[in-house]
């Protein structure tokens, strides 16, 4: 792949190979013709292996993906390894543009290991190809095809030297989206709707440098709608084929929490009884979420956000808070603002979108750890 250095030109696309200009994409601030700074663009973070000694380049690339994948390289890596990643923090999602030398990959999920980073990954190859193998199927991704992977399940494969776009979607983002993506995991989206999502992913790469943080709620809603429109046909096909979808213990715990959000007695002890597991095992499951209590509060605040954004729900903010087991209005407001960066009142009066979006700075995080940090935060 040739990376073009054209900082004053818009992102370049060539229909023949769907090439994307990385230098243009990584720009975080745009200037108008008069040279004055516009509203800052979305937070984006770059990691390039060329910034470390050659002998250490592959190890740095391995560290970058360690939270979600074990990666290996069969050739001599002492002469260097090309890897470049630009990730955008979209609040509800993470979006990445990756260029990499060939490698082998394997999920980090193992029997007895609790790995909460079970996001769905929708990826589009701009060049190269990838082969994926699970316990029940194999499939190959090629240029122009959208693939759906699930990080919470076991898989392995081989990736040729490639350029690809990746959208990370947290499993608990939206029930409808979760159902559709669960049914379509480890498949490729082909046909007209699959090509439509492929074009949408490339369009995101082109437009993200022009989007600011105020646009995040609208962007999240548009992306959710596009996923449902394009993935559902494949999901329906998978359901008809009767393919079983594995449900982990962690997912069962999350379902219990979601169904008991308004129950003041909801807590670690109740979940332990429901699942028949020990407290230490439960806490290991939720350690990456900040603990069971933190996860429950996160889900209650998300639910409150939905109610506050619903124009047909005209209850007082305190009533909405009390339904979700916040007994003190001030405590609820403080917790809400810590979670989303804005107040319940701003959502109620329409200053914020229907979908909660939070974008925190990762500037202090080492480049090779930014992807893992962002994906953990998506989990809540």
Q: What is the DSSP string of 90-138?
A: -SS-EEEEEEE--EEEEE---TT-------EEEEEEEES-EEEE-SS-E
Are residue 203 and residue 292 in the same domain, yes or no? no
Residues 285 and 266 in one domain: yes
Domain count, the chain: 2
pLDDT in tens, 78-130: 989 999 999 998 888 999 999 999 999 999 865 444 455 789 999 999 999 99
In a domain, 354, yes or no: no
167 and 59 fall within a common domain: yes
Contact 333, 60 (CB under 8 A): no
- Please tell me whether residues 306 and 238 are part of one structural domain: no
- Do 343 and 273 share a domain, yes or no? yes
Query: Which of the residue ranges 15-29, 162-176, 256-270, 280-294 would you say has the lowest mean pLDDT?
Result: 15-29
The average pLDDT across 157-180 equals 89
Does the residue 373 lie in any domain?
no
Q: Answer whether residue 366 is part of any domain.
A: no
Say if residue 258 is in the same domain as residue 221: no
* Tokens standing for residue 136: 């029940």
Mean pLDDT of 61-75: 92
Same domain, 137 and 179: yes
pLDDT for res 178: 84
Q: What percent of the chain has pLDDT over 70?
A: 77
- Which one is predicted more confidently, 323 or 25? 323
pLDDT of residue 12: 28
369 pLDDT tier (thresholds 50, 70, 90): confident
Residues 79 and 144 in one domain: yes
Predicted confidence (pLDDT) per residue in 240-274, tens digit: 333 322 234 677 788 889 899 999 999 999 998 88
Interatomic CA distance for residues 180 and 228, integer angstroms:
7
Q: In what order do the strands lie in the sheet with 138-141?
A: 69-72, 103-107, 156-159, 130-133, 138-141
- Domain check: are 118 and 85 in the same one? yes
Range of the domain at 333: 249-348
* Cα 376 to Cα 370: distance, rounded to the nearest angstrom: 10
Query: What is the pTM assigned to this prediction?
Result: 0.61
Domain stops at, among 203, 220, 243:
243
* Domain shared by 203 and 284, yes or no: no
> Do 295 and 314 lie in a common domain?
yes
Task: DSSP letter for 324, please.
Answer: T
The residue among 337, 250, 343 whose CA lies nearest residue 289 is 250
Residues in contact with 172: Cβ distance below 8 Å, sequence separation at least 6, in sequence order? 178, 254, 258, 299, 379, 380
Note whether residue 357 is domain-resident: no
Instruction: Check which CATH number belongs to the domain holding 271 and give it.
Output: 1.10.10.60
Q: Specify whether the CB–CB gap between 126 and 12 falls below 8 A.
A: no
Q: What is the pLDDT of residue 379?
A: 60
* Mean pLDDT along residues 7-27: 37
pLDDT over 80 at 21, yes or no? no
Residues 129 and 268 in one domain: no
């Amino acid at each position: 792949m040739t990376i073009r250095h054209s900082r004053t030109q818009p992102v370049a696309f060539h229909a023949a190979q769907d090439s994307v200009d990385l230098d243009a994409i990584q720009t975080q601030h745009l200037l108008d013709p008069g040279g004055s700074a516009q509203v800052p663009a979305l937070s984006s973070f770059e990691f390039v292996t060329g910034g470390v000694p050659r002998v250490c380049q592959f190890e740095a690339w391995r560290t970058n993906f360690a939270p979600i994948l074990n990666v290996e390289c069969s050739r001599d890596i002492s002469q260097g390894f090309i890897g470049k990643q630009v990730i955008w923090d979209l609040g509800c999602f993470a979006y990445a543009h990756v260029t990499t030398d060939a490698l082998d990959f394997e999920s980090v999920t193992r029997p007895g290991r609790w790995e909460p980073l079970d996001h769905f990954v929708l990826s589009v190859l701009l060049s190269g190809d990838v082969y994926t193998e699970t316990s029940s199927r194999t499939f190959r991704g090629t240029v122009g095809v959208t693939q759906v992977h699930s990080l919470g399940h076991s898989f392995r494969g081989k990736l040729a030297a490639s350029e690809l776009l990746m959208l990370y979607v947290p499993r608990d983002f939206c029930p409808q989206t979760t159902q559709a993506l669960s049914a379509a995991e480890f498949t490729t989206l082909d046909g007209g709707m699959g090509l439509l999502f492929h074009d949408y992913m490339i369009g995101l790469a082109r437009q993200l440098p022009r989007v600011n943080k105020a646009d995040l709620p609208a962007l999240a809603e548009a992306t959710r709608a596009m996923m449902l429109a394009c993935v559902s046909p494949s999901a329906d096909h998978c359901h008809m084929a009767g393919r079983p979808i594995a449900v982990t213990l962690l997912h069962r715990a999350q379902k219990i929490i979601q169904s008991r959000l308004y129950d003041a007695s909801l807590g670690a002890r109740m979940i332990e009884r429901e699942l028949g597991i020990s407290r230490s095992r439960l806490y290991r499951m939720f350690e990456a979420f900040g603990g069971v209590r933190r996860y429950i509060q996160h889900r209650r605040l998300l639910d409150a956000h939905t109610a506050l954004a619903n124009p047909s729900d005209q209850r007082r903010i305190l009533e909405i808070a009390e339904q979700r087991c916040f007994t003190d209005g001030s405590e609820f407001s403080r917790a809400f603002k810590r979670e989303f960066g804005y107040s319940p009142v701003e959502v109620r009066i329409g200053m914020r979108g229907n979908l909660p979006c939070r974008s925190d700075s990762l500037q202090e995080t080492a480049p090779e750890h930014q992807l893992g940090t962002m994906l953990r935060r998506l989990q809540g």
